[in-house]
Amino acid sequence: MTHASKANSSFQQVVNRIPPATLATFTDEQLDALQQAFQYFSWRKHPVDVRLSIPWIGRGIYLVVLAGRERRSVQRLQSDDPHYLQKTVTFLVLLTLAVGGGMLLFLVKVLQPVVESQAAIDHPTSIPWLNSADSCEHTGRTWRDEACWDEEHDPSF
């Protein structure tokens, strides 16, 4: 559907809602001006236009997400909502936290195998108080080079 046909369709829907007695007072020139205004303000296509209808208890709900370049002036934004700047900053902070949290979770998942593989590397150390092969091997350690070696030593011990 083109912008002009969308505007005509929207214009016709509005005209159909005007009470007949009031509509009869409009001149052809006024109706033409209104129709032209609808074409000027035709609901422009947004780069992101997601519309979902979700069945819910009873009647259901809908969700619309529109995104595109901001065309309203700062004055209009302030007149529409005097707190728009605070809301925008809050949204950007929350978006940053969400993206940052997502990236952190991703990095944890990516780095977890690396950390686990580092933990699996043996860090042998000698046990100085076990000074004979019998006493060393009795504890499950290895006697080598006249020293008792613990192969499962944790470097954070």
Backbone phi, psi, residue 65, to 5°: -120, 115
Q: Pull the structure tokens for residue 133.
A: 């092969």
CB 65 within 8 A of CB 48: yes
Residue with tokens 């370049």: 69
- Give the model confidence (pLDDT) of 54-100 as tens digits: 888 878 889 898 888 888 888 888 888 888 888 889 999 999 999 99
- Give the model confidence (pLDDT) of 116-147 as tens digits: 666 555 678 888 898 899 999 888 888 998 99
Q: How far apart are CA 157 and CA 155, in angstroms?
A: 5
pLDDT over 90 at 154, yes or no: no
Q: How far apart are CA 98 and CA 100, in angstroms?
A: 5
Q: How far apart are CA 9 and CA 20, in angstroms?
A: 19
pLDDT at 118: 61
- Which residues 6+ apart lie within 8 Å of 4 measured at CB? 39, 42
Neighbouring-strand partners of residue 50: 65
